[in-house]
Amino acid sequence: MGPIFNLIFGIIIFFVMNLAGYTKETNRIFIPEEFKSGTYISPAWQAGMKSGDVIIEIAGKGVSGFSDIQSRVFFSDGGLMRIKAVRDSREMEFSVTPKPDTESGRFTIGVMPAGSGVFVNGIVKESAAFIAGVREKDVIKSADGIALQMPADLSDYIGTRVGKRVEITVQRGNEEKKFFVQPYLSRIFIIAPAEKDKGEIVFEDEEIIKKYLREKKIKINGKLPLSLGDFEKDTGSTGTFELDGRKIRGRLEVRNKARIGVYIGYSPEMVYVKYGIIEAIARSFAEPYEFIVMNLKGIGMLFSGELKVRENLSGPIRIAKIAGDIAYYKGISAFVLLMAKISIILMVMNFLPIPVVDGGHLVFFTVELVRGRPMNEKIMERIQTAGVIILILLGVFVIINDISMLPFIQKLFH
C-alpha cells in the first residue's frame, strides 16, 4: 500500500493543480541558430517550422506547454510525427521526424520554449554587473526599456553601448530591480576548428586559460605554452590544440567582445493553464501515466547505455537542490508539481524487482504462487543480502554523484 499511496497522492496533487491552475513553460517555440547548421540540425527547422510558432497538437494529442512537447517527442521513438502549429493566426501542419540528441540520447525535434528574459548563469566578481548589484540566477528582462527574449538580444545591445551607462531591469524571485551598468570591451580567445562540422571553443575569461596553463592542460602542436603570452603567440596560426585531453585542429583567434561581467543563458516564457473538472480528472491520470512510462523507458535507456548514468541519476542532495531552486525561481505551484512527480517516481522505484523493496517481495510471492510453496529460506536470505548490498552501493554512488554535480564542486575542478 505504500507505493500505491505514492501514486494516489501524486494523482490527487495533479488533479488539484489542474483545477486550481498553474504556470508552465510555453508551447511557443524558439529554434537557436546553432541548431540550423553543424553536427545537430533541428528536425523541426528542416520540416519548415520557425521560431515563434505555437505548437498546439502532436500526433493527434493536444499541447498546452513545453512539457507536453517533450513527452510526445519522447514517446515517438523516432517515428514520423504530425505537428500542428499556429503561425500569425494561421494553423499549419508539419511532418517532423525526431532524432536522438548527441549528448543525452533522448529523441528531440530541436526546439526550445520561447524566452522571456536572459538568465544569469554566473557572474564575474568585481565586474560592472557585480558592482552594480546583479547576482547569479537573476533574470534580465530589459535593457534601457528594450525587452530581452534571448541571450543574443542582450549581447547585441551592449555591443552598441560600450562605455555608456545602460539601465537593466532584473527579476529576482518575486521582486523586480533596476541597476545601471557600463559595458566594457574584453578579450575572448576562440579556437575556430578547421572542420566545418565542429563547434568553436570559446574562452571568455583569461583566468580560465591561465588555470589550464598552470595545470598543463593545454598543448599547441604538442608543446606546453608556459604563459598567456606564449599562448597568444599562436594567434592567427593554424595548428593542433589539445585541451584537457581533447584534440582539435584549428586557428586561434583573439577578439574584443562587449561585456558587463555575466555568463548568460535563457529564461523560458511561462503560460498560465487551468482546466475544467472533467479535463482536470482526465489529465490527473494521463500525466502520471506518461511520467511513469517515461521513467521506465529512461531506466531501460540507462541500462542500455543510451542515457548517461551520471547526468540522469539523482539522489537526495541533488533532488533537494532542484526542489529549492524550483521553489525560489519558479514558484510554489512548480514546487508542488515536483513533489507529485517525486511521489510517483518513488512508487516506480519501489515496484522495481529489486530484493528488499516491495517489487522484490512481489517477485517472491509470484514464484511462491507458481511453485505452490515458499522458496527456500537460505536462498531468500542470500538474495535479500545481495539486494541490501545493491541498494547500499547505489546509495553511495548517487550521493557521491550528487556532490560532484554541485556548482561549487564543478567550479573547483573545472
Which pLDDT score, from 0 to 100, does residue 278 have? 93
CA 28 – CA 278 distance, rounded (Å): 26
Q: Which of 182, 187, 222 is nearest to 208 (CA)?
A: 187
Average the pLDDT over 18-29 and give the result: 92
Which pLDDT score, from 0 to 100, does residue 197 have? 56
* Residue 14 pLDDT exceeds 80: yes
Beta-strand ranges (E) seen in 77-114 are 81-87, 90-96, 99-100, 107-108, 112-113
**pTM of this structure:** 0.68
Q: Average pLDDT over the chain, rounded to whole?
A: 85
**Of 23-27, 101-105, 208-212, highest mean pLDDT:** 23-27
Name 193's bridge partners. Answer: 250
Q: What are the CA-CA distances from residue 400 to residues 67, 305, 317, 395, 405 (Å)?
A: 29, 20, 9, 9, 9
CA trace torsion 71, 76, 82, 84 (10° rounding): 10
Q: What are the CA-CA distances from residue 158 to residues 151, 165, 205, 269 (Å)?
A: 11, 10, 18, 22
Place of cell 511513469: 292
Confidence of residue 8 (pLDDT cuts 50, 70, 90): very high
Sign of CA dihedral 206, 208, 210, 213: negative
Place of cell 499541447: 63
* Residue 413 pLDDT exceeds 60: no
pLDDT digits (tens, 9 = 90+) for 77-135: 788 999 999 999 999 999 999 987 765 567 889 999 988 889 998 888 888 999 999 99
Query: SS3 string of 277-314?
Result: HHHHHHHHHHHHHHHHHHHHHHHHHHHHCCCCHHHHCC
Please tell me what DSSP assigns to residue 200: P
Beta-strand ranges (E) seen in 5-78 are 22-25, 29-30, 54-58, 61-62
Confidence of residue 408 (pLDDT cuts 50, 70, 90): low
Which pLDDT score, from 0 to 100, does residue 146 have? 92
Which pLDDT score, from 0 to 100, does residue 353 have? 86
pLDDT digits (tens, 9 = 90+) for 240-294: 888 777 788 888 888 888 889 888 887 888 888 899 999 999 999 988 998 888 8
Report how far Cα 70 is from the mean position of its chain's Cα atoms.
12
Which pLDDT score, from 0 to 100, does residue 235 have? 76
pLDDT digits (tens, 9 = 90+) for 238-251: 888 887 777 888 88
